Amino acid sequence: MTYTPIIEMRGISKQFGQVQANDSVDFTLQHGEIHAIVGENGAGKSTLMKILYGLYQADAGEIFVTGNRADISSPRHAMRLGLGMVQQHFTLIPVFTVLQNIVLAKEPCKLGVILDYREAQKKITELATQLGFDVPLNTPVESLPIGTQQHTEILKVLYHGADILIMDEPTAVLAPQEVDGLFNCMRSLKDEGKSLIIITHKLDEVMAIADAVTVMRRGQAVNTCSITDTDPAMLAEMMLGEPVIPSAVTREQTEHKTPMLCIEGVTLSESENIRKKHRWRNVLSNRETGKRLLNEVNLDVFPGEIVGIAGVEGNGQTELVEVLTGLRQIDSGTLTLNGERVAHIPADRHRHGISLDDRVDDNFIVGHHKMRRYCQYGMLRRKSIQRSALNAMDKYQIRIGDVSDRISVLSGGNQQKVVIARELEMNPEVIIAAHPTRGLDIHAAEFVHTRLIHARNRGKAVLLVSSELDELLHLSDRIAVMYDGKIVGIVKPTETNKQELGALMLGLHEAKLDV
């Protein structure tokens, strides 16, 4: 018996300037299926799904929803057809509460005019309980951990009636424990008859959660198969178009002398930051007063080493990076930096890394535009900027149409590589890298790993924040684990494992701090 697919996309094409993002792509989603889409950065995965959700309009092709042709002109139209999308960069309004964000554009009313949040709260609470989410509905989104924000996004699309969920890199910002919770949620949704599409680069997660997988390469769908008919090595080869051969990078022995970065007794309290951010509030809850985001943090980073920072999201890693890069002022303690040039690869590239409305080459000189090679007599040296940008694009394997294109037309992975190229090409002495491979495919991630190890071998000091334990164990010379704003353990990768790191991340025990 043949069943009508719940989603069928036929011959979808989309071009941005000189970049052919989608080239006659076919895609089919069955009812009650978890379907993964994988591919290199710039392969066209997110573009295809944004067309399905109405964020982009296809240049050619057709879309059918439950067998009926649909011209999806906007996300609102997509939602009416039962589609919902949790995007890689969340679309929540930070100052609104969880409840306000979820019901936005579908506010419950009594008598047609009076807002009735009580009924909505009851419905959302039941939905959250069913999915195993612990989401504080009356808390502003900006004060929530990333994992809880993602739960909010999922609740929002379900509250708006989605039967088909599109999730773009849903595990990119989650710790390993949170990934397990998300997968349990996805299985529950599948059991209820929902259909899910997951865009990801993590092939082990594809094997763990998906029923079927579509591989995209250079804008085309090159294969679709059942998950039982493939394995990670086959998927990687289809993504790249060639066998994957891991590069061998030698980690040279280095001698520690004077630390390049020294953090001593650093504290940062929530109360002062909250008061500045919410001056209009008359009363602060107990949760918002007095809590220490950083609590007597001590850490040295020496030349020629990579120090990894592990921890479940919301335990001080973000705040540590922010004080080190000048985005926040500490309450007490000292920060000593023995080096003039500091590279910052931010966790949120859209907020702190690039200017979406500006050209690719202009983004390449952000923060460095006053250098003599780029500026003379107050005027930008456009040819020099373009030449440097083109060299970096080639060196870092960044796929673009033209350096004069707006950076917003690049895939998320290629945007990330622009940030990494810009920061590392300035020959920094200290590199602060927060989730540098987030959203990157396996080939690009390995390329970044190689660059960081090369920087370490040249005597650079690297502080690496990552939620990927495999990445930390592979790259780090030492790993510092943060819990509740404190460093609760410093371990060597050769003397630990994921289980011990997980226990430290959950605050179950402490390890020695003098490694």
Residue 267's DSSP bridge partners are 332
Hunting for tokens 């195993």 — which residue is that? 132
Looking at the domain assignment, is residue 393 inside a domain?
no
Question: Is residue 167 helix, strand or coil?
Answer: strand
Same domain, 71 and 200: yes
Same domain, 469 and 324: yes
The per-residue b/e assignment along 414-441, b for 16 or more CB within 10 angstroms, e otherwise, is: bbbbbbbbbbbbeebbbbbbbbbbbbbb
Q: Which of 425, 424, 476, 420 is nearest to 444 (CA)?
A: 420
DSSP track, 6-70: SEEEEEEEEEETTEEEEEEEEEEE-TT-EEEEEESTTSSHHHHHHHHTTSS--SEEEEEETTEE-
Looking at the domain assignment, is residue 255 inside a domain?
no
Looking at the domain assignment, is residue 478 inside a domain?
yes
Hunting for tokens 């990894």 — which residue is that? 308
Range of the domain at 193: 7-240
pLDDT at 170: 85
The one-letter code for the residue type at 382 is R
Domain boundary (205, 240, 275) is at: 240
Domain boundary (189, 206, 240) is at: 240
Tokens of residue 89, six digits = 């960069």
DSSP track, 96-109: SBHHHHHHTTS--E
Looking at the domain assignment, is residue 329 inside a domain?
yes
Same domain, 59 and 180: yes
Same domain, 229 and 314: no
Same domain, 43 and 192: yes
Same domain, 174 and 287: no
Q: Which of 87, 88, 91, 107 is nearest to 99 (CA)?
A: 107
pLDDT in tens, 18-41: 889 999 999 999 999 999 999 988
| 194 vs 186: CA distance, rounded Å | 9
pLDDT in tens, 439-475: 777 888 888 899 999 999 999 999 999 988 889 999 9
Domain boundary (240, 270, 300) is at: 240
Looking at the domain assignment, is residue 256 inside a domain?
no
Query: Is residue 468 within 8 Å of residue 502, measured between CB atoms?
Result: no
Across the chain, what does the average pLDDT equal?
A: 86
Q: How many domains does the chain have?
A: 2
Question: Is residue 83 helix, strand or coil?
Answer: strand
- Angstrom CA distances, 465 to 50, 187, 322, 445, stand at 30, 30, 12, 14
| 294 vs 315: CA distance, rounded Å | 8
| 52 vs 425: CA distance, rounded Å | 38
- How many Å separate Cα 259 from the centre of its chain? 30
| 408 vs 89: CA distance, rounded Å | 13
Looking at the domain assignment, is residue 352 inside a domain?
no
| 297 vs 328: CA distance, rounded Å | 15
Assign residue 13 the CATH number of its domain.
3.40.50.300
Same domain, 198 and 291: no
DSSP track, 350-417: IIII--TTSBHHHHHTTTTTTSTTTEETTEE-HHHHHHHHHHHHHHTT---S-TTSBGGGS-HHHHHH
The pLDDT tens digits along the chain (515 residues) read: 467 899 999 999 999 888 899 999 999 999 999 999 999 888 899 999 999 999 999 999 999 999 999 999 999 999 999 999 988 777 899 899 999 999 987 777 776 666 778 888 888 998 888 887 888 999 999 888 777 888 899 899 989 889 999 998 888 767 666 778 888 889 989 998 999 999 988 898 899 999 999 999 999 999 999 999 999 999 988 988 877 666 666 777 777 678 999 999 999 997 544 444 444 343 333 334 467 899 999 999 999 999 999 988 778 999 999 999 988 999 999 999 887 789 999 988 888 889 999 999 999 888 888 888 888 888 888 899 899 889 988 888 887 778 888 898 888 888 888 999 999 988 899 999 999 988 777 888 888 899 999 999 999 999 999 988 889 999 999 999 999 999 999 999 999 988 888 888 888 776 666 66
